[in-house]
Structure 1
Amino acid sequence: MQRIPFLFLLLFTNVLMAQTDIGNNLVKDKFLKYFELPRETVFLHTNKSTYITNEEIWFKGYVYDRHNSKPFQQSSAIHLGLYNHEGNQLKTYHFRAKDGFFKGNIEVDSVFASGTYYLRASTNWMKNFKEDDSYLQKIVILNEEPLKKPVAATGYDIQFLPEGGNFIVDAPNVMGVKVTDSNGYGVRIVEGSIFDMNNAQVARFSTSIFGLGKFNFNPKAGMAYVAKLKFSDGSMQTVEIQKAENKGVSFSVKNVDKDRLIISLTTNNATKESIQEEPFYLLIHRDGHANRIPVTFPKNKLFVSKILNKDILSKGMNILTLFDANGKPIAERLVFNYADLLDGKLNVNKLVVEGDSIKIQLKLQEPFNDLHNLSVSVLPGKTMSYNQQNSIYSAFYLKPYVRGFIENPSYYFKNVTAKKENNLDLLLMTQGWSKYDWNDIFKGPPNQFYEFENGIDLEGTINSRDISSTNKLLVSFPDDRSTYLDILDNRFLIQKYFPVKGEVLNFALISDNKKLTQPNIDLNIRLGVIPTRINTVRKEKVERIVADTAKEVAVPDLVYADNTISLNEVTVVDNKIKKTVENNVFIPKYLKGKMTEVTEDIEFNFPLISDIIRSRGYYVREELSFGSTDRVIIRTRTVQSFDSKRSMPVPVIYLDNVRLTTFDLLYRMPTNEVESFLIDKTGAGEGVRGSAGVIRIYTRRRPRDYDAQFGKDVNVLNYKLKEGFEPVKKFYTPKYNSYLSDEFENFGTIHWAPELKMNENGIATFKILNTLQRDIIFYIEGMNANGNLISSEQSLIIE
């Protein structure tokens, strides 16, 4: 046997180590550059998840800096889109954030049909990155129509997912199992077994409530395997196990105890001959933070392990990526560290009953140095209207790093037990690689095409030919500030402003002789672009409200449409008494309580009356079509007859009490010409001809701003902004028909406190309306300046 000179071996080893160092440094450099730009995450805490007509969707928003684990200070504009169950955009909203927090509300009016909707929150900065960091919140709205029962899922999807991503022959592997229904939700099986081609059982497993499980498996070369699963309904299903690779490295992670974990690498003889003693290394990383740990197979060994102290892990999520000697990622595993994560525990106490209100105290068990900013939703103890799938913990610590769907992510952070920790580890093991693709990381850092929005530029044009550059434009703001603007080519610019929808800016043109004249201007407000469509979404595993329940509970009649109740610190913002409708002598008395008055928000979001009709589920076409003399066609979308001519019947439509025989009068009719409307899909009072519903429209008798036109300064233009940030309103308690009904216990709102701040002792007090409920539940989310989080669900018995 020929002997290899020692000097050659030494030189080869040094070259190999140098190449490894170059590869390691390249990976580290690429990784750090990819995360140089900070990443932010948004969480919406809505006061409920199921709403009824005449309520408001109240919410508090939290913006989190994942690199520094603190509130994200830079973003000051949050863009919100409202989407239907198909993912089509219905409305857009813009909210101003400050110091990592924002709040707002959205009115639930009769325009919304019963069904599932989605709120999507994002920022302009997020568009710099390939990874989608927007936040999606599902809500349910109940109107006159009950929700349809969900269709039961049929069929199963069964996947076998090796831990770390590698499945190799003749080596111990840890195999994950994922069993879901056709809607993508987990299915617990009674029993699962693995058999080889000789029908010998080689492994057994079961799954959690989310359809996840794992088992140890050592596949043999040349052997095929099948899995046999037994479901709770007694059915059986057999599936083939994917073929194992001939070469590779198996990578697994396991907890030793609460302070330590063990990482293990396993391979086979064929692979060992190729890699010899080549060095591997493990990168433990997240959001630009990283630790590198060398790992090498000992000579003539197919197995190597390392015990790591959990102090090396970050709080929350950690991504463990295994690299070979050339700096190529070959396996990855997500690991969650619960240590020091759930310290924000608090108690809720009743202090005193004061007339129609109850004074409540929240107290942290172990106060932090920095004061917490909390949002608190107070609901009846038997509520069916709060079904939040996310908490601030899952939104900030879990969802940003997982590539796939997570069923009920908040489950892993409520009353955490060893079983829940194991279930989360199963989830992460079966998710495979993280959201971040190493191919993208190696290509280079993301480009910074989008900036943080610290205010918005308003671009204006003066529509006049006799404007010179020596003229000035005086603008006055609602806070009594005024400033002079330069004019260049009839254009002007208001920089870094936070325009509020509905507010009035006053403009006056100052000529060379210092005289004031009223300008004719146009303003262009460029708010953040919100996608017109999103990918929704999965069908529901279980609907909270089904058709039979909705009929049994008279949900739409729960709230008065024309009144509100306020406590000492609660301000009534909108007077909802529809005086215009009540004073309209042309509307019959029996209809006045059912009419929807056209507000400025409705005008803005539905510019044409046909847009409103279309939003309620009707097919609307506004153009001449072949073979038709009608310019406007309105029909139902529901097939009601086998006769093709009558398969899509038309509704009965009245315009100012005159029944329309043709709908052409509605052609491109502006909504601002309409005072009120009623869309009754039951067709009540119309007999057989009302099978497609009845629509009543009453036009406006005089312009909305008629009274505002008198007494205004003829030299000043009062410009009302139709676009901008949403005005911030104070919470008001809706006036319910009864606080002792089943309807209120199921769907009512007691209180919403979006900005509850704790003192230096970790105590906050506030008042809630005394609705005579014995059982009350508090849903609490919060964050302080150091990024410490709170998520708590507390019950209180009122004696």
Structure 2
Amino acid sequence: MNISFSQKPLIALSLIVAPFYFSQNKAEVALKKFEENYPQEKIHLLLSKKNYVAGENLWFTSFVFDGYSPSTISTNVFVELYDQNKKQISKKIYPLINGKGSGSISLPADLKEDIYYIRAYTTWMGNFSDYFNEIMPITVYNPSSPEKLVKNASAPWSAAIFPESGTFIDGINTKFAVRLQSKGETPSNWNGFITETQDPQTKLVTFKGFDQNAGSFSFTPVGGKKYQLTVEDEKGIKQTVNLPEVVSSGVNLQVQSKPDAINFVLKGKNIDQNKKYKIIGTINNQLVYKANISMISDKVYSIPNNQLVNGILNFTVFDESENIVAQRLCFIQPQSLKLKQPYLKGTSLSLKPRDSNSFTINNDPSISNYLVSVTDNESEDPENENSLLSTIWLTGDLSSKIYYPAQYFNQNRNIDALDALLISEKWSRFNWQTIMSGNFPVIKYKPENFLSYKGKATKLGKPASEAEINLIFKMPGQGIKYNLIKTDKEGVFTLSGLIFEDSMSFSYQLNGEKTTKNSVQVYFQPTFSFLPFRSDLPSNNYTLIKRNPTDTVPIEIERAVANKSSQTSLQEKETLIEEVKVKAQKKDLTKKLNNELSSPLFRSGNETVFDLVNENQNAQGSQNILQYLQGRVAGLQIQMQGGNYTATNRGGTMELFLDEMRVDASQISNIPISNIAMVKVIKGNFAGSFGGGNGAIAIYTRRGGATGSIVDTTLPSNLTEIKLNGYDKEIPFNNEIYAEESARSVPEDKRSILYWNPYLESKPKESTIVQWYNNDDAKNFRVMIIGFDENDDLLYYNEVLK
């Protein structure tokens, strides 16, 4: 037997040499091409809560993955809201920073009570099936609506049966999975039994279903006989399904996922003993295991788990002609999920109405920021149905409907149920026959670099060929800022890597020429766009019935309605709590300084900002600013060569800018640090770059708003102003609701979301404090903490603090 493995990080195995090789390797070649050229993204939307009332704000954080790691492919996420008729109600675009983004949707106050759907996707995902868009149903209640939602308990269900690896062979004991499906709810309590078709009274095997999705049993068939499955739910409703026909020859693949290894065995009957087989194992479209087998026997093969990641392992058995003879999905090490856990200390909890609570997350220098959510545990957990874990490891790569997939990755998970589920599934990211025949996805949409606009400049009606154009920005408190761009022969140029909210206004003029207001025209067109929704909305397990005046409103909805009224009252008193806004502003002085000093062309999702006005006072002790930066940014190297400093990032030379004008290192090294207000280290491409791609160090001197000096803020009157649309602005969540005493006058506080912060900063040498205020009657709190370290390992915590 010959076994070889890919050298992918974390999923590489050892090598065993065997005496022969397969003459064909079409499968391996096709898989490598697919993996390298068609990476697949998946999205998880984490909502601030599970159920909503019309008129509320919905906050979310989007996590985009390439396989099992945060994606670096896409930098924008598109989020849309639809009703049951697929009518679009809202659409938003937000930036993705290292695969993570956050935003909000304001639900209209006149939305009728119903199930609505949030669709989230990236432009790159438009090249593949819409089945892998995130389509999340949300329940929106409205007590004034003429109809109300009720669970659909009468929807019929169906059962299907799947032999392990897809083969059912005479005399070979075979494991079967039974899978339930419904347009409404499937039963949670059900059982089944096997009989011969001609003797339905004699039960050969009985079993009980694991959950609403699957059950399993093992059975040894006899050739020439026919069998049937009968499934019965707790209401006595029965369904009978025929088992596949028993065949007299073939190969059966049997797999067991053990704590320390994946064990498998190939069993066969009436097969040519000279025939050879090839087994390929893939994780996330990557080849991680290959075995050439010359003889089918009962030998058990073992793949160690110690270098494998949690996830779905896709086994495929090929014959010598590379026909598929058996397939099987299994989960790697479901007994032990590799997740980091935060260490919480200094927990201070109070059950007094509107009192302050807090805990501290112990310092982890490998994590830059966390998502932290605190909710009243009386409300439903937004992760109880489909969690971040179940999206990464299960639903993000499978297209069928799975009920409550989060259950397979919680503390009380049933690993036998997960295995049965995977026996009934097929890997949905690619089809072997399709890619082996050379049919690959057509790439219509390229990944974007944040917001991009294509511009065309004309002079007196003709293209301004190879011209230099000054884009002129009026910066708050900083006067005028110029950014130079160049057109091609057709007068075309591109602004890419833009990160700004709402809109961006600027004027323009041809460099070095006096022009009248209408002699030069610049036209812009966005290179990003929302994509049409091609698939159908999924079914849900609710129906609408007429509301009666005597109907009682569910407690959670009654609380949400009361809280919406209180929040409206609080917003009307904003003038009385202006100090809260001031405090919030003080917490973000660096962001304010960044907005004042840097133009939109010098903003990036991958930037490190050093604020020398409000922080980093120790910089004054360095010889110069480049020396100060050494060792403070991962990958940045500052070196002295020939009497001059050089700055490189991962081996590539970085551009240097002084007040957004490109300069040499010699022009920077002599600037006194006391004259510098801010430094930005930008990695990768950004709009103001000259095209190097290795990033830049941008240094901003103290002037204008940083020192109080007077700057001319007038623009020439002959310039035309242009406005470009940016990202949608996220509605801020008020985590300091009672920081000011006057806010406590609201009549009642029934908030379910007590704290929401998608980007809680983790400082390298400090513990991270989370502080929130009670509502009027909280008894315990659900805390969610999510983060990724520098190796993309996931920290996931979803527990109740009492």
TM-score scaled to structure 1, two decimals? 0.69
1:357–1:109: structure 2 CA closer, same or farther, 3 Å change rule? farther
Shift of 1:777: 1.6
1:434–1:168: structure 2 CA closer, same or farther, 3 Å change rule? farther
- Cα shift readout 1:684-730 (whole Å, capped 9, x = no counterpart): xxxxxxxxxxxxxxxxxxxxxxxxxxx99753444344x43223554
2:800 aligned residue: 795
Q: Answer yes or no: is 1:398 the counterpart of 2:394.
A: yes
CA contact (8 A) 2:114 2:140 kept: yes
1:75 aligned residue: 74
- Partner secondary structure for residue 306 of structure 2: helix
Instruction: For 1:739 and 1:296, locate their aligned partners in 2 and report how far apart those are by CA, in whole Å.
Output: 77
Instruction: For 1:169 and 1:391, locate their aligned partners in 2 and report how far apart those are by CA, in whole Å.
Output: 41
2:568 aligned residue: 561
Instruction: For 1:290 and 1:173, locate their aligned partners in 2 and report how far apart those are by CA, in whole Å.
Output: 26
1:165 aligned residue: 166
- Cα shift readout 1:278-316 (whole Å, capped 9, x = no counterpart): 222321211323211233445xx6x44334433364332
Instruction: For 2:748 and 2:582, locate their aligned partners in 1 and report how far apart those are by CA, in whole Å.
Output: 26
Shift of 1:472: 6.7
Shift of 1:733: 5.3
Instruction: For 1:211 and 1:775, locate their aligned partners in 2 and report how far apart those are by CA, in whole Å.
Output: 32
- Cα shift readout 1:233-284 (whole Å, capped 9, x = no counterpart): 13444333332334321222124x4213431222333xx2xx2232223212
Instruction: For 2:425 and 2:757, locate their aligned partners in 1 and report how far apart those are by CA, in whole Å.
Output: 37
Shift of 1:352: 7.5
Instruction: For 1:534 and 1:448, locate their aligned partners in 2 and report how far apart those are by CA, in whole Å.
Output: 19
Shift of 1:94: 1.4
Instruction: For 2:294 and 2:219, locate their aligned partners in 1 and report how far apart those are by CA, in whole Å.
Output: 23
- Cα shift readout 1:669-697 (whole Å, capped 9, x = no counterpart): xxxxxxxxxxxxxxxxxxxxxxxxxxxxx
Q: Answer yes or no: is 1:101 the counterpart of 2:100.
A: yes
> Larger deviation: 435-444 or 351-360?
351-360
1:531 aligned residue: 532
1:385–1:72: structure 2 CA closer, same or farther, 3 Å change rule? closer
Instruction: For 2:244 and 2:786, locate their aligned partners in 1 and report how far apart those are by CA, in whole Å.
Output: 44
- Partner secondary structure for residue 394 of structure 2: helix
CA contact (8 A) 1:567 1:768 kept: no
Instruction: For 1:762 and 1:375, locate their aligned partners in 2 and report how far apart those are by CA, in whole Å.
Output: 17
Instruction: For 1:106 and 1:304, locate their aligned partners in 2 and report how far apart those are by CA, in whole Å.
Output: 57
CA contact (8 A) 1:49 1:138 kept: no
| Residues matched between the structures, number | 626
Shift of 1:382: 0.6
* One of 726, 729, 734 as aligned partner of 1:727: 729
5+ residue gaps, structure 2, are 1-17, 575-579, 588-713
- Cα shift readout 1:619-655 (whole Å, capped 9, x = no counterpart): xxxxxxxxxxxxxxxxxxxxxxxxxxxxxxxxxxxxx
One-letter amino acid of the counterpart of residue 422, structure 1: D
Instruction: For 1:162 and 1:399, locate their aligned partners in 2 and report how far apart those are by CA, in whole Å.
Output: 21
* One of 309, 314, 329 as aligned partner of 1:314: 309
Shift of 1:430: 1.7
% identical aligned pairs = 18
CA contact (8 A) 1:180 1:186 kept: no
Question: Aligned runs of 1:514-593 on 2, under 5 Å?
Answer: 514=514, 517=517, 522-540=523-541, 548-550=551-553, 553-554=557-558, 555-559=560-564, 560-561=567-568, 563-564=570-571, 570=584
Question: Aligned runs of 1:213-252 on 2, under 5 Å?
Answer: 213-252=215-254
One-letter amino acid of the counterpart of residue 722, structure 2: Y
CA contact (8 A) 2:44 2:64 kept: yes
- Cα shift readout 1:308-351 (whole Å, capped 9, x = no counterpart): 43336433221111122222222111111236634322355534
Q: Answer yes or no: is 1:326 the counterpart of 2:321.
A: yes
1:343 aligned residue: 339
1:620 aligned residue: none
Shift of 1:504: 3.5
CA contact (8 A) 1:228 1:238 kept: yes
One-letter amino acid of the counterpart of residue 207, structure 1: G
- Partner secondary structure for residue 373 of structure 2: strand
Instruction: For 1:210 and 1:466, locate their aligned partners in 2 and report how far apart those are by CA, in whole Å.
Output: 67
- Partner secondary structure for residue 29 of structure 2: helix
1:777 aligned residue: 782
Q: Answer yes or no: is 1:786 the counterpart of 2:791.
A: yes
> Larger deviation: 725-734 or 773-782?
725-734
1:463–1:437: structure 2 CA closer, same or farther, 3 Å change rule? same
* One of 413, 422, 444 as aligned partner of 2:409: 413
One-letter amino acid of the counterpart of residue 169, structure 1: D
Instruction: For 1:785 and 1:147, locate their aligned partners in 2 and report how far apart those are by CA, in whole Å.
Output: 47
CA contact (8 A) 1:381 1:776 kept: yes
* One of 766, 772, 787 as aligned partner of 1:768: 772
Instruction: For 1:355 and 1:230, locate their aligned partners in 2 and report how far apart those are by CA, in whole Å.
Output: 49
1:781–1:493: structure 2 CA closer, same or farther, 3 Å change rule? same
1:374 aligned residue: 370
2:433 aligned residue: 439
Instruction: For 1:151 and 1:497, locate their aligned partners in 2 and report how far apart those are by CA, in whole Å.
Output: 47
TM-score scaled to structure 2, two decimals? 0.69
> Larger deviation: 782-791 or 754-763?
754-763
Question: Aligned runs of 1:50-69 on 2, under 5 Å?
Answer: 50-66=51-67, 69=68
- Partner secondary structure for residue 249 of structure 1: strand
Shift of 1:523: 3.3
Shift of 1:442: 0.7
Instruction: For 2:293 and 2:395, locate their aligned partners in 1 and report how far apart those are by CA, in whole Å.
Output: 30
1:153–1:73: structure 2 CA closer, same or farther, 3 Å change rule? same
One-letter amino acid of the counterpart of residue 61, structure 2: K
Instruction: For 1:785 and 1:150, locate their aligned partners in 2 and report how far apart those are by CA, in whole Å.
Output: 44
* One of 207, 210, 226 as aligned partner of 1:208: 210
1:673 aligned residue: none
One-letter amino acid of the counterpart of residue 162, structure 1: P
1:246–1:739: structure 2 CA closer, same or farther, 3 Å change rule? farther
Instruction: For 2:584 and 2:141, locate their aligned partners in 1 and report how far apart those are by CA, in whole Å.
Output: 26
1:141–1:526: structure 2 CA closer, same or farther, 3 Å change rule? farther
CA contact (8 A) 2:161 2:241 kept: no
Instruction: For 2:584 and 2:138, locate their aligned partners in 1 and report how far apart those are by CA, in whole Å.
Output: 25
1:45 aligned residue: 46
Question: Aligned runs of 1:448-463 on 2, under 5 Å?
Answer: 448-460=443-455
- Partner secondary structure for residue 415 of structure 2: helix
CA contact (8 A) 2:173 2:219 kept: yes
- Cα shift readout 1:9-39 (whole Å, capped 9, x = no counterpart): xxxxxxxx9995222x332222112101333
Shift of 1:164: 0.9
Instruction: For 1:474 and 1:526, locate their aligned partners in 2 and report how far apart those are by CA, in whole Å.
Output: 21
1:52–1:359: structure 2 CA closer, same or farther, 3 Å change rule? same
Instruction: For 1:343 and 1:512, locate their aligned partners in 2 and report how far apart those are by CA, in whole Å.
Output: 59
> Larger deviation: 489-498 or 407-416?
489-498
1:4 aligned residue: none
Shift of 1:159: 0.9
One-letter amino acid of the counterpart of residue 35, structure 1: E
Instruction: For 1:368 and 1:333, locate their aligned partners in 2 and report how far apart those are by CA, in whole Å.
Output: 39
Instruction: For 1:392 and 1:569, locate their aligned partners in 2 and report how far apart those are by CA, in whole Å.
Output: 33
One-letter amino acid of the counterpart of residue 386, structure 1: P
Shift of 1:796: 2.3
- Partner secondary structure for residue 148 of structure 1: strand
- Cα shift readout 1:746-792 (whole Å, capped 9, x = no counterpart): x6321201112445589521221233433222233332231211332
Q: Answer yes or no: is 1:715 the counterpart of 2:722.
A: no
CA contact (8 A) 1:571 1:731 kept: no
Instruction: For 1:441 and 1:203, locate their aligned partners in 2 and report how far apart those are by CA, in whole Å.
Output: 40
Instruction: For 2:189 and 2:349, locate their aligned partners in 1 and report how far apart those are by CA, in whole Å.
Output: 47
* One of 756, 760, 767 as aligned partner of 2:760: 756
Cα-Cα RMSD: 4.0
One-letter amino acid of the counterpart of residue 415, structure 2: E
1:667 aligned residue: none
1:570–1:775: structure 2 CA closer, same or farther, 3 Å change rule? farther
